[in-house]
Amino acid sequence: MAAILRFRKLCFLEPVKCSTVSVQSFEKPKNDEKQSFEQPQKPESLVSAIERVLEKPKSKKIKKQPKEWRVPEAPGVRLKRDGLTPLHPVVLVPGIVTGGLELWEGRPCSEGLFRKRLWGGSFTEIFKRPLCWLEHLSLDNETGLDPPGIRVRAVPGLVAADYFAPGYFVWAVLIENLAKIGYEQKNMYMAAYDWRLSFQNTEIRDQSLSRLKSKIELMYVTNGYKKVVVVPHSMGVIYFLHFLKWVEAPPPVGGGGGLGWCAKHIKAIMNIGPAFLGVPKAVANILSAEGRDVAFIRSMAPGLLDSETFGFQTLQHIMRVSRTWDSVISLVPRGGETIWGDLNKSPEVENICYTSKAQYLQSSSKENNGNDTDAKRSFHVKELPRYGRIISFGKEKLELPSSQLSIIDSKELMRGSASRNSNTSCGEVSSEYDEMSRNNIKKVAESDAYTASSLLDLLRFVAPKMMKRAEAHFSHGIAEDLDDPKYTHYKYWSNPLETKLPDAPDMEIFCSYGVGIPTERSYVYKLSSSDRCKSIPLQIDSSAYGSDNGCLKGGVHFVDGDESVPVVSAGFMCAKGWRGKTRFNPSGISTYIREHQHKAPSSLLEGRGTESGAHVDIMGNVAFIEDVLRIAGGATSAELGGDRIYSDIMKMSERINIRL
Pick from 639, 658, 653, 637: nearest CA to 592: 637
Residue that finishes a domain, picked among 559, 582, 609: 559
Do both 510 and 540 map to the same domain? no
Residue 353 confidence (pLDDT): 72
Whether residue 296 lies inside any domain: the answer is: yes
pLDDT in tens, 604-616: 878 898 999 999 9
Residue 536 banded pLDDT, cuts 50, 70, 90? confident
Do both 407 and 533 map to the same domain? yes
515 bridge partner residues: 597
Whether residue 356 lies inside any domain: the answer is: no
CA distance 268 to 512: 13
Contact 329, 273 (CB under 8 A): no
Q: Please, what is the average pLDDT of the chain?
A: 83
Do both 318 and 460 map to the same domain? yes
Whether residue 15 lies inside any domain: the answer is: no
558 bridge partner residues: 520
- Judged against a pLDDT cut of 60, whether residue 485 lies above it is answered with yes
Task: Give the least confident one: 360-369, 449-458, 555-564.
Answer: 360-369
Residue 198 confidence (pLDDT): 98
Residue 189 confidence (pLDDT): 98
Task: Give the least confident one: 43-57, 180-194, 331-345, 387-401.
Answer: 43-57
**Distance from the Cα of residue 105 to its chain's centroid:** 33
Pick from 338, 284, 331, 279: nearest CA to 470: 331
Do both 549 and 604 map to the same domain? no
Do both 536 and 548 map to the same domain? yes
Catalytic (active site) residue 529: no
Pick from 194, 130, 184: nearest CA to 161: 194
Range of the domain at 228: 77-97+173-278+501-520+560-655
* Strand, coil or helix: 275: coil
Q: What is the mean pLDDT of residues 98-124?
A: 93
pLDDT in tens, 284-310: 999 988 866 555 444 544 554 554 433
Catalytic (active site) residue 615: yes
Do both 314 and 212 map to the same domain? no
* N-terminal to C-terminal alpha carbon distance within the chain: 83
CA distance 251 to 363: 51
Q: Which of 146, 457, 562, 648 is catalytic?
A: 562
Whether residue 131 lies inside any domain: the answer is: yes
Do both 411 and 505 map to the same domain? no
Most confident of 425-429, 457-461, 577-581: 577-581
Q: Note the pTM of the prediction, 2 decimals.
A: 0.84
Do both 185 and 118 map to the same domain? no
Q: Which of 88, 473, 598, 615 is catalytic?
A: 615
Residue 341 confidence (pLDDT): 96
Contact 357, 407 (CB under 8 A): no
Residues 6+ apart with CB under 8 A from 426: 434, 533, 534
CATH for 582: 3.40.50.1820
Do both 206 and 87 map to the same domain? yes
Residue 378 confidence (pLDDT): 37
Whether residue 192 lies inside any domain: the answer is: yes
| Number of domains within the chain | 3
Residue 228 banded pLDDT, cuts 50, 70, 90? very high
CA distance 244 to 261: 9
Residues 6+ apart with CB under 8 A from 60: none
CA distance 541 to 522: 12
Whether residue 262 lies inside any domain: the answer is: yes
Whether residue 302 lies inside any domain: the answer is: yes
Q: Which of 45, 234, 327, 392 is catalytic?
A: 234
Residue 637 confidence (pLDDT): 93
Residue 51 banded pLDDT, cuts 50, 70, 90? low
pLDDT in tens, 162-207: 999 999 999 999 999 999 999 999 999 999 999 999 999 999 999 9
42 vs 269, which has greater pLDDT? 269
Q: What values do phi and psi take at 491, rounded to 5?
A: -65, -20
- Checking phi first, is residue 308 left (phi over 0); if not, alpha (psi -120 to 50) or beta? alpha
User: For the chain, how are helix, strand and coil distributed in percent, rounded to 5?
Assistant: 35, 15, 50
Pick from 166, 164, 116, 157: nearest CA to 136: 116
Do both 608 and 648 map to the same domain? yes
Residue 441 banded pLDDT, cuts 50, 70, 90? confident
Do both 83 and 186 map to the same domain? yes
Radius of gyration of the chain from Cα atoms?
32
Catalytic (active site) residue 476: no
Alpha helices in 55-137 (DSSP H): 75-81, 124-128, 130-137
DSSP 8-state symbol, 491: G
Do both 177 and 83 map to the same domain? yes
String of DSSP letters for 493-541: TT-TTSSPPPS-TT-EEEEEEEESEEEEEEEEEEE-S--STT--SEEE-
